[in-house]
Amino acid sequence: MSAATIAVEVVYALPKRQTLLRLDVPAGTTVGAALAASGILALHPEIDLAAQRVGIFGQFVAVTHVLAAGERIEIYRPLIADPKASRHQRVARKRADRDSERDMRA
């Protein structure tokens, strides 16, 4: 790797398959250009960058973000369920279980 290139990673995870690609890109490369150069979009044609967000180490970034050496680009899948609604459902189930146990003891 020369001084004019930097090493980055591109990551995409599915429930049963994960893809991690390491590549060297020219300094000043954007997230979008690195994704195109990585070939991840050909490996996973279901990725839709217009609908899915990307990030660097868990922080959302735009595809125009200029990469620094060692950064890991993460492609996030759409959520299946609303996290807030899921939490409310878990709390309601726990409350119902607790009430049921209390009724059985009474």
pLDDT in tens, 59-77: 999 999 999 999 999 999 8
Domains: count for the chain: 1
Q: Is 100 helix (H, G, I), strand (E, B) or coil?
A: helix
Q: What range does the domain containing 26 cover?
A: 5-79
pTM, whole model, 2 decimals? Answer: 0.72
Within-domain flag for 91: no
Q: Decide if 90 is inside a domain.
A: no
Q: Which carries the bigger pLDDT value, residue 90 or residue 37? A: 37
- Is 41 a domain residue? yes
Confirm if 8 and 35 have CB atoms less than 8 A apart: no
Q: Can you say whether the dihedral through the CA atoms of 70, 73, 79, 83 is positive or negative?
A: positive
> Does the residue 100 lie in any domain?
no
Handedness of CA 91, 83, 14, 18 (dihedral sign): negative
Q: What is the CATH number of the domain that holds 57?
A: 3.10.20.30
Query: pLDDT per residue over 9-44, tens digit each?
Result: 999 999 899 999 999 999 999 999 999 999 999 999
Residue 63 located in a structural domain: yes
Share above pLDDT 70 across residues of the chain, in percent, rounded to a whole number = 92
Rounded alpha-carbon distances, angstroms, from residue 7 to 2, 25, 28, 54, 88? 10, 6, 12, 18, 42
